[in-house]
């Protein structure tokens, strides 16, 4: 941010002055931003002070001694109830009236968005503006009743005599009475008149109108303490609490305005999560439903254990339920239920989704059963037979305490050596220095993984049983059960499995304190082991949070001073104030830690506030509901299963550090960023959320991504002369590198095809290669048809060859005055007879069999001179026969007008007979036999058909089961002239359809157009498009030919037919060649095709581009983020930094402005070295803490430098009177031919994208082909 950028610009200042008073006062809009009648403000003031007036009546009657306090409360509450019903009825009447009669309003396009036009003081528009009303009738009644209760009890709470009795001063009573009624009026107004826009927002949409309940519920809490003090006298602690809360009560509007107090839904979920985690030994859950269910079951477990009379039974119950509840029971039940259903229904049941296939198997279930049996056996034996004396150095419990200390040290050492840094400061000497020699790095990492296996065994098998032994030997379990014992040990036996590492640390601390400290200490004397463990767990969690918040505050303070782009004129003053008032800053941090709430930096400045408490899953919906699906989403779908498997291995080995719900990790590979969050942890399982982020679309994003690369490069790409135990150069950064994960992903390489696709020589060869590829594609298609495979054996013993209809390429005995015309088409009709007028199949009669291969129709029915006659189609059942004389009618239609309801035009087609009995197995479908090209043109162009290639392709087929007979049969088929003429006709017709009849060199634009599926108009276009299957085959052949042309330009010419076959077979098996927008492109990625290719055009640069995706093993660099730094920017959406488009006030509708689709952001490119990439955090935050997750690819590292070139180019191409496009987030321009970061291997030289060489050309291309070290060869900007 620039020092000259104001905190709030003019628009935001106006918005802030309108919105913030409304939030503070609970809903009254006293500043509208436009001229409104005075009665609008007067009506709002009257409605705001109405509860005070009604409560004041009761207070006056009480002070005069007319009514007692309880009757005073009843009177005030009744009056407020009546008033609330009147207000809501008025709103309902106004809405119904406005629906019935609507006034035609004049639209003013320059008016404010929230500007209204008022007609009278009590008009329908005025009432709707003042009192929007409720959505549901039930809420109308409930909120009105609640308003009456708040007013009545509030009157009782703020009685002057009661306040004077608490404090004994008249001045204090007056202040508390005045400001207390202001607080009550604020709560009442938001409940029954107009709900304020709350700064503390958890739900994106208030569907059930929960927001109006927020302020009254907090008022009820304060009143409940006072009522408890009224009925339970002589309790000093309660009286002191009541006195404190009366003072805090008048500050509630301030706490509501700054967003410190959570909404009811967030408060409820946060309280359940805290009780489940620290009181019942559970974990934060991945969904709110799972949290509710797990809380109920866990609470039921603790309650049930209290009522079990037998100590052994209670211990067994707590041990067994603690183990079972620590498992992923929901997925286990799902798999079991699906298995039972599939067993009952047989093969009709669908298989499990891919994400659940390998989560649970019967082996794992058997493993869990064995562990459960051993744990119960160990607990029962130790509890029943061991002595239960107090802990001493000679007792058996002390022995297990020492064992646990040793285990803790070993596990800590084994965990730290798995990551690149030890405790985030010192570089691990056992970790590989550099990751670039991938084979060497993976070999060294495999050795560390072997150590990780030993750690996993100690963590999952040895440590839990040692801790169970320690707990089973505790003397507290021998006594009669109490509430503290039931709660403490239920949590302890659950934590052993739920979070083994934390449980091990807690037990070691409790054991060490008991051994070191005196037995007369209150800690050892008054508390049992379970409660001690509970308190240690809370202290451990809050201490970690305090350190994280303190580190974040110091980092933000230093970054605001050291970074020039973050330094403002007030920075020096703010830093001095933070140092002078550091005790108060620490109080804010401690208070935020105790509440487990985010620490809010106001406007990202070192001015800290306390955010509202919320659950770990700080978004209301299910995981993934806010994800934005786009073209690149499919890459993350392919990546997630493999990344999950790699993360599973790394987590088991300890490479990612201590796992706990709420931990955030950032993954980086190539130009993409992956956000990983741990949602839930248990015994041998962990629920995570993986997001793909859209970055580097602006210079700011590019700068932050480059900073992330610098942090990772300093950790994983060290020089040989670096010290063995060097320090972390970026210590204090919120991102701490952890490890590198090898994952099989798609590498993206983009190339400029200039010099290839526009080469005259290449385009000339392209036409000849297209015919060859068409032949190969059609032959392969016919040989693999199911009908062909079924008829292979049936035709081996047949002696007769079938009769087929072949387009006549030779001279026809009929006159041909019009059949050779290029501009005319003919159309014929089936014969009309009484026998077959309603039949689809023609009537065919047998006649004498002919011996000639080609036989004309009988001469009795000659056509009209100059016309073209189409013979009857002969089905397979009439093989070897000629039809009798039929009535044929030929009608000549002028080209290009055609009648689509009739049969297609055909030239004269005689009946033909294959010379080989197996030729019909490779014949093309019947619907492809019609002709649309004049015979003269077909004869002229048939010379392009490669007969030698055609015979070679046929001889390479492997479609016959008998190999000895197969070669002989294929030889006979290759010699069949009729079959060859058939292929000549179909191949050349497809060729004409793609290029047109004119035999000209295609242009690069035509190549791109046809590649995209947009064919130029030609005579055969309709013929081809009406046959979808043939059209797809022709398009496939065209795309294969283009890829072949690029490969020939990159690798050299093809030597023989065998090498060409190897290229085409590789395309068929290992490649998908098409468009990125095709559905088959996504299917190929999900099927993990080894290579994908797409052709494109960059209109900005004026070049043709190629994009190649290759599936290969890549290294994903993973680092751990400071959890507090992640949560703070999420809360900071309520008070955004200067320069962003999010208005202050933190409303739901305002947060939408963070998306690029809503408004351009004049952001400054600033790479914060310590504070962390704020925009990365914002884009990763789910709604309402940030925009929707964007799962798209990102641009290269040099985008910031090339962005300036793109701006200059755009200004030169743009007229002077136009504004520059894409304000604030111009697209990055493509770099030069080799867009790689320093230290990377060079990219493949243009003009060819990287590809795998076919088997036949490996030796020939070895000297002139190279794959890129990273897929960052020539990038293309995204439009």
Can you give the pLDDT at residue 782?
Answer: 85
Kindly report which listed range (939-953, 1059-1073, 1093-1107, 1205-1219) carries the lowest average pLDDT score: 1205-1219
Residues 371-377: what's their mean pLDDT?
95
Extract the tokens encoding 1072: 């998908």
Residues 419-441: what's their mean pLDDT?
86
Residues 393-410: what's their mean pLDDT?
86
The CA distances from residue 814 to 808, 811, 869, in Å, are: 12, 9, 9
Contacts of 1069 (CB under 8 A, 6+ apart): none
**pLDDT classification of 1133: cutoffs 50, 70, 90:** very low
**pLDDT classification of 564: cutoffs 50, 70, 90:** confident
Q: Is the pLDDT of residue 1226 over 80?
A: no
Residues 262-287: what's their mean pLDDT?
93
What is the Cα–Cα distance from 337 to 334, expressed in whole angstroms?
5
Going along 237-368, which residue ranges are E strands?
Answer: none
Burial 415-433 (b: 16+ CB within 10 A, else e): bbbbbbbbebeebbeebbb
Kindly report which listed range (5-9, 835-839, 983-987) carries the lowest average pLDDT score: 835-839
Tell me if 113 sits within 8 A of 95, measured CB to CB.
no
**pLDDT classification of 28: cutoffs 50, 70, 90:** very high
Tell me if 792 sits within 8 A of 959, measured CB to CB.
yes
CA-closest candidate to residue 1120, choices 686, 662, 453:
662
| Coil vs helix vs strand at 627 | strand
In tens, the pLDDT along 100-122 reads 444 444 444 444 556 667 888 88
Kindly report which listed range (274-288, 448-462, 914-928) carries the lowest average pLDDT score: 914-928
Q: Is the pLDDT of residue 279 over 70?
A: yes
Tell me if 1037 sits within 8 A of 777, measured CB to CB.
yes
Q: Is the pLDDT of residue 853 over 70?
A: no
Where is mean pLDDT largest: 339-353, 355-369, 434-448, 1062-1076? 1062-1076
Kindly report which listed range (53-67, 76-90, 1009-1023) carries the lowest average pLDDT score: 1009-1023
Residues of the chain with pLDDT > 70: what percent?
A: 71
Main-chain dihedrals φ then ψ at residue 1092, nearest 5 degrees: -135, 145
**Residue 309 per-residue DSSP state:** -
Count of C-beta atoms within a 10 Å radius of residue 68: 11
Q: What is the DSSP string of 543-578?
A: HHHHHHHHHHHHHHHHHHHH-TTT--TTHHHHHHHH
What is the Cα–Cα distance from 1261 to 546, expressed in whole angstroms?
61
User: Which residue has better confidence, 432 or 563?
Assistant: 432
Count of C-beta atoms within a 10 Å radius of residue 776: 22
Residues 535-547: what's their mean pLDDT?
95
Residues of the chain with pLDDT > 90: what percent?
A: 38
**pLDDT classification of 343: cutoffs 50, 70, 90:** low
Going along 214-317, which residue ranges are E strands?
Answer: none
Residues 1232-1239: what's their mean pLDDT?
31
Q: Is the pLDDT of residue 1159 over 70?
A: no
In tens, the pLDDT along 601-612 reads 887 788 899 999
Kindly report which listed range (147-156, 549-558, 564-573) carries the lowest average pLDDT score: 564-573
Q: Is the pLDDT of residue 235 over 60?
A: yes
Q: Is the pLDDT of residue 206 over 80?
A: yes
Can you give the pLDDT at residue 975?
Answer: 74
Can you give the pLDDT at residue 310?
Answer: 87
Q: Which residue has the tokens 């052993």?
A: 496
Q: Is the pLDDT of residue 475 over 70?
A: yes
Q: Is the peptide bond before 854 cis (omega within 30 degrees of 0)?
A: no
Q: Is the pLDDT of residue 460 over 50?
A: yes
The CA distances from residue 159 to 251, 837, 1136, in Å, are: 18, 101, 42
pTM over 0.85: no
Residues 34-53: what's their mean pLDDT?
90
Count of C-beta atoms within a 10 Å radius of residue 1025: 12
**Residue 279 per-residue DSSP state:** I
Can you give the pLDDT at residue 931?
Answer: 72
| Coil vs helix vs strand at 1136 | coil
Count of C-beta atoms within a 10 Å radius of residue 759: 17
Classify strands 1091-1098 and 1071-1073 as parallel, antiparallel or unpaired: parallel
What is the Cα–Cα distance from 1060 to 1066, expressed in whole angstroms?
10
CA-closest candidate to residue 932, choices 844, 999, 847, 1027:
1027
**pLDDT classification of 1: cutoffs 50, 70, 90:** low
User: Which residue has better confidence, 1256 or 944?
Assistant: 944
Helices (H), 1186-1278: 1199-1213
So where are the chain's domains?
Answer: 36-261, 271-330+358-516, 547-610, 627-734+1122-1195+1197-1211, 807-840+853-913
Q: Is the pLDDT of residue 479 over 60?
A: yes
Q: Is the pLDDT of residue 392 over 70?
A: no
H/E stretch holding 1145 reads: none
**pLDDT classification of 865: cutoffs 50, 70, 90:** very low
Can you give the pLDDT at residue 1100?
Answer: 86
**pLDDT classification of 99: cutoffs 50, 70, 90:** low
Can you give the pLDDT at residue 88?
Answer: 93
What is the Cα–Cα distance from 38 to 35, expressed in whole angstroms?
9
Can you give the pLDDT at residue 726?
Answer: 81
What is the Cα–Cα distance from 842 to 840, expressed in whole angstroms?
7
Contacts of 298 (CB under 8 A, 6+ apart): 276, 280, 281, 282, 325, 494
Burial 262-288 (b: 16+ CB within 10 A, else e): bbebbbebbebbbebbbbbbbbbbbbb
Can you give the pLDDT at residue 276?
Answer: 96
Q: Is the pLDDT of residue 464 over 90?
A: yes
Can you give the pLDDT at residue 364?
Answer: 85
Can you give the pLDDT at residue 1169?
Answer: 40
Q: Is the pLDDT of residue 1158 over 90?
A: no
User: Which residue has better confidence, 223 or 883?
Assistant: 223
The CA distances from residue 230 to 74, 162, 173, 175, 223, in Å, are: 17, 10, 18, 22, 11
What is the Cα–Cα distance from 1112 to 1123, expressed in whole angstroms?
32
**pLDDT classification of 982: cutoffs 50, 70, 90:** confident
Q: Is the pLDDT of residue 514 over 70?
A: yes
Contacts of 1184 (CB under 8 A, 6+ apart): 201, 202, 203, 204, 619, 1133, 1148, 1151
Extract the tokens encoding 86: 């009147």
Q: Is the pLDDT of residue 165 over 80?
A: yes
Kindly report which listed range (383-387, 842-846, 979-983) carries the lowest average pLDDT score: 842-846
Can you give the pLDDT at residue 158?
Answer: 94
Mean pLDDT of the chain: 75
Can you give the pLDDT at residue 825?
Answer: 38
Q: Is the pLDDT of residue 571 over 70?
A: yes
Kindly report which listed range (235-244, 724-733, 817-826, 1223-1232) carries the lowest average pLDDT score: 1223-1232
Q: Is the pLDDT of residue 1266 over 60?
A: no
Q: Is the pLDDT of residue 228 over 90?
A: yes
Can you give the pLDDT at residue 159?
Answer: 94
Can you give the pLDDT at residue 1227?
Answer: 31
Q: 3-state SS of 1019-1085?
A: CCHHHHHCCHHHHHHHHHHHHHHHHHHHHHHHHCCCCCHHHHHHHHHHHHHHEEECCCCCHHHHHHH
Contacts of 678 (CB under 8 A, 6+ apart): 659, 660, 661, 662, 663, 664, 665, 686, 687, 688
Burial 319-344 (b: 16+ CB within 10 A, else e): bbbbbbbbbbeeebebbeebeeeeee
Kindly report which listed range (184-193, 706-715, 1187-1196) carries the lowest average pLDDT score: 1187-1196
Residues 690-707: what's their mean pLDDT?
72
What is the Cα–Cα distance from 1159 to 964, expressed in whole angstroms?
72
In tens, the pLDDT along 652-698 reads 999 999 999 999 999 998 888 899 999 999 999 999 999 887 655 55
CA-closest candidate to residue 600, choices 558, 569, 664, 556:
556
H/E stretch holding 847 reads: none
Q: Is the pLDDT of residue 358 over 50?
A: no
In tens, the pLDDT along 56-68 reads 999 999 999 898 9
| Coil vs helix vs strand at 677 | strand
């Amino acid at each position: 941010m620039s020092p000259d950028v104001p905190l709030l610009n003019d628009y935001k200042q106006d918005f802030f002055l309108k919105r913030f008073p409304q939030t503070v006062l609970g809903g009254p809009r006293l500043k509208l931003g436009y001229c409104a009648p005075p009665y609008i403000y007067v009506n709002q003031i009257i409605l705001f002070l109405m509860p005070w007036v009604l409560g004041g009546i009761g207070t006056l009657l009480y002070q005069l001694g007319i009514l007692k306090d309880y009757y005073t409360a009843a009177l005030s509450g009744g009056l407020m109830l009546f008033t609330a019903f009147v207000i809501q009825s008025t709103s309902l009447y106004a809405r119904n009236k406005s629906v019935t009669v609507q006034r035609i309003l004049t639209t003013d396009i320059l008016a404010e968005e929230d500007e209204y036009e008022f007609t009278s003081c009590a008009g329908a528009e005025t009432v709707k503006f003042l009192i929007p009303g409720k959505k549901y009738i039930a809420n109308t009644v409930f909120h009105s009743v609640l308003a009456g209760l708040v007013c009545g009890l509030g009157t009782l709470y703020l009685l002057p005599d009661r306040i004077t009795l608490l404090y004994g001063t008249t001045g204090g009573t007056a202040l508390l009475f005045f400001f207390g009624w202001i607080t009550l009026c604020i709560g009442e107004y938001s409940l029954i008149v107009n709900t304020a826009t709350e700064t503390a927002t958890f739900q994106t949409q208030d569907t059930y109108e929960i927001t109006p309940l927020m302020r009254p519920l907090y008022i009820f809490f304060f009143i409940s303490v006072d009522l408890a003090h009224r009925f339970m006298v002589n309790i000093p602690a309660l009286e002191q609490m009541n006195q404190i809360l009366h003072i805090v009560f008048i500050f509630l509007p301030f706490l509501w305005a700054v967003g410190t107090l959570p909404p009811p839904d967030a408060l409820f979920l946060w309280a359940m999560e805290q009780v489940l985690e620290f009181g019942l030994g559970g974990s934060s859950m991945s969904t709110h439903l799972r949290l509710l269910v797990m809380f109920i079951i866990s609470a039921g477990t603790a309650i049930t254990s209290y009522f079990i009379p037998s100590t052994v039974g209670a211990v067994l119950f707590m041990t067994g339920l603690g183990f079972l509840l620590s498992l992923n029971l929901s997925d286990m039940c799902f798999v079991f239920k699906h298995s039972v259903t599939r067993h009952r229904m047989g093969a009709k049941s669908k298989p499990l989704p891919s994400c659940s296939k390998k989560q649970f198997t019967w082996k794992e279930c058997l493993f869990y059963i064995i562990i459960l049996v051993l744990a119960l056996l160990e607990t029962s034996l130790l509890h029943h037979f061991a002595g239960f004396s107090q802990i001493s150095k000679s007792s058996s419990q002390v022995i297990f305490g020492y064992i646990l200390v040793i285990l803790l040290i070993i596990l800590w050492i084994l965990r730290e050596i798995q990551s690149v840094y030890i405790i985030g400061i010192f570089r691990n000497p056992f970790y590989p220095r550099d990751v670039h020699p991938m084979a060497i790095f993976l070999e060294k990492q495999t050795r560390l993984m072997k150590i990780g296996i030993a750690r996993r065994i100690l963590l999952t098998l040895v440590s839990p049983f040692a801790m169970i032994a320690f707990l089973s030997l505790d003397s507290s379990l021998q006594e009669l059960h109490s509430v503290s014992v039931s709660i403490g040990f239920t949590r302890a036996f659950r934590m052993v499995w739920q979070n083994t590492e934390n449980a091990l640390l807690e037990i070691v601390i409790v054991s060490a304190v008991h051994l070191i400290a005196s037995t007369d200490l209150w800690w050892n004397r008054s508390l049992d082991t379970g409660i001690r463990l509970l308190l240690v767990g809370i202290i451990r969690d809050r201490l970690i949070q305090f350190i994280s918040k303190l580190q974040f505050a110091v980092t933000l303070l230093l970054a605001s001073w050291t970074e020039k782009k973050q330094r403002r004129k007030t920075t020096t003053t703010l830093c001095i104030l933070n140092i002078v008032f550091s005790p108060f800053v620490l109080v804010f941090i401690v208070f935020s830690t105790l509440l487990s709430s985010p620490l809010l930096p106001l406007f990202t400045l070192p001015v800290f506030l306390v955010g509202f408490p919320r659950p770990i899953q700080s978004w209301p919906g299910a995981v993934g509901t806010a994800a934005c699906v786009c073209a690149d989403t499919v890459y993350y779908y392919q990546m997630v299963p493999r990344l999950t498997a790699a993360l599973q291995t790394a987590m088991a080995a300890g490479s990612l550090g201590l796992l706990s719900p709420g931990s955030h990790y950032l993954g980086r590979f190539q130009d993409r960023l992956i956000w990983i969050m741990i949602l839930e942890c248990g015994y041998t399982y962990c629920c995570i959320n993986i997001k793909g982020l859209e970055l580097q679309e602006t210079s700011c994003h590019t700068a932050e991504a480059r900073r992330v690369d610098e942090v990772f490069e300093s950790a994983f790409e060290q020089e040989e002369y670096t010290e063995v135990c060097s320090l972390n150069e970026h210590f204090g950064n919120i991102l701490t590198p952890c490890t590198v994960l090898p994952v099989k992903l798609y590498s993206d390489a983009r190339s400029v095809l200039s010099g290839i696709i526009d080469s005259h020589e290449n385009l000339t060869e392209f036409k000849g290669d297209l015919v060859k590829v068409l032949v190969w594609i059609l032959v392969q298609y016919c040989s693999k048809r199911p009908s062909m495979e079924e008829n292979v054996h049936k035709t081996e013993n047949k002696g007769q060859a079938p009769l087929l209809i072949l387009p006549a390429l030779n001279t026809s005995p009929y006159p041909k005055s019009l059949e050779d015309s290029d501009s005319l088409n003919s159309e014929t009709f089936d014969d009309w007879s009484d026998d077959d007028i309603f039949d689809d199949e023609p009537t065919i009669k047998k006649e004498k069999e002919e011996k000639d291969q080609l036989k004309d129709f009988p001469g009795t029915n000659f056509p009209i001179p100059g016309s073209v006659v189409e013979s009857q189609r002969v089905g397979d059942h009439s093989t070897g026969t000629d039809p009798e004389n039929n009535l044929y009618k030929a009608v000549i239609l002028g080209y290009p007008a055609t009648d689509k309801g009739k049969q297609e035009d055909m030239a004269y087609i005689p009946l033909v007979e294959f010379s080989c009995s197996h030729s019909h197995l490779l014949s093309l479908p019947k619907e492809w036999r019609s002709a649309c090209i004049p015979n003269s043109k077909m004869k002229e162009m048939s010379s392009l058909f490669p007969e030698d290639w055609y015979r070679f392709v046929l001889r390479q087929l492997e479609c016959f089961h008998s190999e000895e007979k197969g070669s002989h049969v294929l030889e006979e088929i290759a010699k069949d002239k009729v079959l060859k003429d058939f292929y000549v006709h179909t191949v050349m017709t497809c060729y004409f359809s793609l290029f047109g009849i004119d035999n000209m060199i295609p242009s690069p634009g035509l190549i791109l157009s046809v590649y995209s599926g947009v064919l130029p108009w030609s005579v055969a276009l309709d013929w081809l498009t009406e046959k979808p299957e043939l059209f797809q085959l022709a398009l496939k052949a065209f795309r294969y030919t283009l890829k072949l042309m690029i490969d020939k330009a990159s690798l050299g010419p093809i030597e023989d037919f065998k090498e060409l076959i190897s290229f085409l077979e590789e395309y068929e098996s290992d490649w998908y060649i098409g468009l990125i927008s095709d559905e088959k492109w996504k299917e190929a990625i999900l099927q993990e095709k080894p290579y994908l290719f797409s052709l494109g055009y960059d209109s900005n640069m004026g070049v043709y581009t190629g994009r190649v995706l290759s599936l290969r093993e890549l290294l994903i660099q993973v680092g751990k983020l400071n959890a507090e730094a992640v949560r703070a920017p999420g809360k900071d959406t309520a008070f955004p930094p200067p320069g962003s488009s999010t208005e202050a006030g933190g409303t739901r509708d305002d947060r939408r402005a963070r998306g690029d689709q809503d408004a351009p952001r004049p952001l400054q490119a600033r790479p914060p070295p310590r504070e962390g990439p704020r925009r990365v955090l914002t884009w990763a935050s789910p709604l309402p803490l940030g925009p929707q997750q964007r799962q798209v690819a990102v641009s290269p590292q040099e985008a910031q430098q090339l962005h300036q070139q793109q701006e200059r180019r755009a200004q030169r191409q743009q007229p002077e009177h136009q504004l520059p496009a894409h304000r604030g987030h111009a697209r990055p321009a493509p770099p030069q031919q080799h867009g790689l970061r320093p230290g990377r291997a060079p990219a493949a030289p243009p003009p060819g994208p990287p590809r795998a060489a076919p088997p036949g050309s490996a030796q020939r291309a070895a000297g002139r082909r190279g794959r890129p070290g990273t897929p960052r060869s020539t990038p293309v900007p995204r439009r």
